[in-house]
């Protein structure tokens, strides 16, 4: 990190802005100062914000970059930096998914933002829904161990910290209609059509 700062203080350029970002990220990581890396990803329906810790993907959100960075800074660590390189594998797998070439993500996940044990059970039930299939909120509630907790299931899915990768979009009302989704009903519908579930 000191080498990067000394270079800048001396008035020497590191290169284009992307090279400067990469240099800072590499220096911070080498000195153990990078707890959370974040990057953006341009999905077919809009921008996603990605966050990763050394344990794995911790956040995939439809929200504004500043909001996600503020959330990660307060809930995970203030040592957060734009470091796209750490998220290359995630972005590559998202590319494959949106191209129709990937049906299952193979990523390490850091689920510390998932919440309670029940919420984690709900997300595990959603993660187990196969590509191209859907389940009802009632079915997910039963799988998570509390068939009557439909509202709690909806809340848990709405707070899914890694949407798309943990496919909460595969959960529908019992009549097959789309209900709430953090990214909006249009994005949920897009994902279901992409997977051939609509």
Residue numbers annotated as active site:
168
Paired with 42 in beta bridges are 47
Q: Nearest Cα to 7, choosing from 24, 29, 25, 31?
A: 24
Work out whether strand 135-136 and strand 171-172 pair parallel, antiparallel, or are unpaired: parallel
> Please, are residues 77 and 128 in contact by the beta-carbon 8 Å criterion?
no
User: Nearest to residue 46, comparing CAs of 63, 71, 69?
Assistant: 63
In DSSP notation, 146-185 reads -TT-HHHHHHHHHT-TBTTTS-GGGEE-TTS-----TT-H
Q: Is the dihedral of CA 19, 25, 27, 30 positive or negative?
A: negative
């Amino acid at each position: 990190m000191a080498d990067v700062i000394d270079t800048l203080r001396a008035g020497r350029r590191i290169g284009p802005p992307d090279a400067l970002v990469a240099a800072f990220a590499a220096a911070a990581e080498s000195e153990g100062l990078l707890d959370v890396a974040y990057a953006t990803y341009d999905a077919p329906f809009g921008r996603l914000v990605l966050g990763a810790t050394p344990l794995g993907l911790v956040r995939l959100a439809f929200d504004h970059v500043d909001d996600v960075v503020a959330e990660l800074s307060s809930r995970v660590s203030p040592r957060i930096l734009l470091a796209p390189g750490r998220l290359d594998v995630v972005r590559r797998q998202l590319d494959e998914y949106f191209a129709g070439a990937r049906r299952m993500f193979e990523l390490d996940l850091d689920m510390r933002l998932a919440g309670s044990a029940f919420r984690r059970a709900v997300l595990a039930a959603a993660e187990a829904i196969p590509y191209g299939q859907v389940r009802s909120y009632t079915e997910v509630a039963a799988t998570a161990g509390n068939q009557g907790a439909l509202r709690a299931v909806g809340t848990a899915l709405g707070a899914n910290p890694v949407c798309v990768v943990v496919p909460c979009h595969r959960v529908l009302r019992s009549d097959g209609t789309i209900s709430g989704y953090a990214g909006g009903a249009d994005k949920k519908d897009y994902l279901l059509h992409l997977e051939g579930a609509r």
